[in-house]
Chain A
């Protein structure tokens, strides 16, 4: 994808060092290290059971690592180890500087309240209380994710799958986060709906200078959205590099298998 986001000499936003997670005797994720820079989109690819979702949970502070740590450069410029954050600080981070787009929008949205309230809620959580401004910002964001503002008072349970996913994205981006985690964001969608969503994500990511860590098993999604990929298998990162390099010139047997399994368009 376009690389207009990347600056030359900036500091990393998030650094993972030797992250591991075991469930009993099973090592779900072993010794993963990388740095993510502002505006950089990293795709974590691999099949089910490869450890990619476990890794995403650790990176986003939702699952404690068995070993290793994750540090994040906060908005005030201070880099903190996620494990040392208090619960309140972690929640604030999640409501402001981070977003999390789930595969199933029902997990990231409140299905029974209006679309406008879904978007406004995150702003209220950071202290917005002027109804007019909340509504204005919410309609603005619905427009940006191509939802007809005539639907602002409808609850997302009346929305199609594609609209729900776009609403979830609006809800996440309204607080102008610097980092967004995405877990198979195009997962359960029809192909045509997927294309539209990807296209929208691609332009929003570039426009807002977002750093993104996206977990996907779909290499086409990785190619369209990411600068860099990490290929995981059996809890290990087996290959990593520039996205087009890894996909056009895969080195590891497993990556070659993944790439050769794509049906030609």
Chain B
């Protein structure tokens, strides 16, 4: 089976020029693979570099060395050396990212925030909104809020809008950064179901989850990030 994500010996150090050039090693020797239909959970204490690894796989943080192989449209692309345009194309059609916080555009209605990834990939607005509605419904966002921009919503509501937006498209790779952090039990259960559905569709996922119960429910494999702790 071809891995969807193939990280090999990736390394990342921050150089803080404003603090006299202090070198802050983040991770080194990061090596793991994720197959289709598999959810790998990154574990390790806070500050071990879990989020940094996720950001490196999304191309948001640069890699100093090593390789981040991404299976994109039938070929393997090394995200660590890809051109910006290529990274954007990979984000459009291959990798989705569900961050902890919603970066909302000021005046866009919730239903459109959620539907956007589908419209971008060519679905009609009506169909995309119908699917967005289904997901918002499952995530218990009442219909009276759909036409409002999410900026004024509570933290938990915003996170659910963010999850809906992240799970709506049919991208083959999903990165989940604490998707259940500020959710109640009922909504956490919905997210667990959504992850299970993605697995059945063959989506490869990498997740950071602090809640032991959720981790137990979604993880097929746990990668301990402490082993990648950069020697300081």
A residues with CB within 8 A of B: 2-4, 6, 8, 37, 40, 195-196, 199, 202, 227-228, 241-242, 244-245, 248-249, 251-253, 256-257, 260
Cα separation A130 to B51 with both chains bound (whole Å): 59
Residue of B nearest to A195 (CB): B106
Which residues from A are CB-within-8-Å of B87? 242, 245
Which residues from B are CB-within-8-Å of A249? 14, 55, 60-62
Which residues from A are CB-within-8-Å of B59? 242, 245
The answer to the question of B214 belonging to the interface, with a C-beta cut-off of 8 Å to chain A, is no
Q: CB distance A260 to B15 under 8 Å?
A: no
| Chain B 64-114 residues near chain A, CB threshold 8 A | 84-85, 87-89, 91-92, 105-107
Do A227 and B61 contact each other (CB < 8 Å), given the known contacts A199-B105, A253-B17, A256-B18? Answer: no
B residues with CB within 8 A of A: 14-18, 55, 59-62, 84-85, 87-89, 91-92, 105-107, 116, 119-120
Which residues from A are CB-within-8-Å of B84? 227-228, 241-242, 245
Which residues from B are CB-within-8-Å of A256? 16-18
Number of A-B contacts (CB under 8 A): 60
Q: CB distance B88 to A245 under 8 Å?
A: no
Chain A interface SS verdict (over half): mixed
Do A6 and B85 contact each other (CB < 8 Å), given the known contacts A199-B106, A249-B62, A256-B18? Answer: yes
Closest 5 CB pairs of A and B: A253-B17, A4-B120, A3-B88, A242-B84, A249-B61
Which residues from A are CB-within-8-Å of B61? 245, 248-249
Q: CB distance A245 to B62 under 8 Å?
A: yes
Which residues from B are CB-within-8-Å of A37? 85
Cα separation A70 to B209 with both chains bound (whole Å): 50
Do A242 and B88 contact each other (CB < 8 Å), given the known contacts A199-B107, A202-B105, A248-B55? Answer: yes
Which residues from B are CB-within-8-Å of A195? 106
Residue of A nearest to B16 (CB): A256
Do A6 and B18 contact each other (CB < 8 Å), given the known contacts A245-B59, A245-B61? Answer: no
Cα separation A40 to B14 with both chains bound (whole Å): 29
Residue of B nearest to A3 (CB): B88
Cα separation A166 to B134 with both chains bound (whole Å): 37
Contact of B92 among A6, A196, A202, A228 (CB under 8 A): A6
Q: CB distance A3 to B16 under 8 Å?
A: no
Q: What's the least CB distance linking A101 to chain B, in Å?
A: 20
Q: CB distance B105 to A4 under 8 Å?
A: no
Cα separation A199 to B107 with both chains bound (whole Å): 7
Which residues from B are CB-within-8-Å of A2? 116, 120
Which residues from A are CB-within-8-Å of B60? 244-245, 248-249
Q: A40-B85, A227-B85 are in contact. List 8 more A-B contacts (CB 8 A).
A: A3-B88, A3-B91, A4-B120, A199-B107, A242-B59, A245-B59, A249-B60, A257-B18
Q: CB distance A251 to B120 under 8 Å?
A: no
Cα separation A132 to B87 with both chains bound (whole Å): 46
Cα separation A241 to B80 with both chains bound (whole Å): 12
Cα separation A181 to B102 with both chains bound (whole Å): 30
Q: What's the least CB distance linking A198 to chain B, in Å?
A: 8
Contact of A6 among B17, B88, B116, B119 (CB under 8 A): B88
Q: What's the least CB distance linking A186 to chain B, in Å?
A: 13
Cα separation A260 to B17 with both chains bound (whole Å): 11
Cα separation A147 to B162 with both chains bound (whole Å): 32
Do A253 and B18 contact each other (CB < 8 Å), given the known contacts A6-B88, A37-B85? Answer: yes
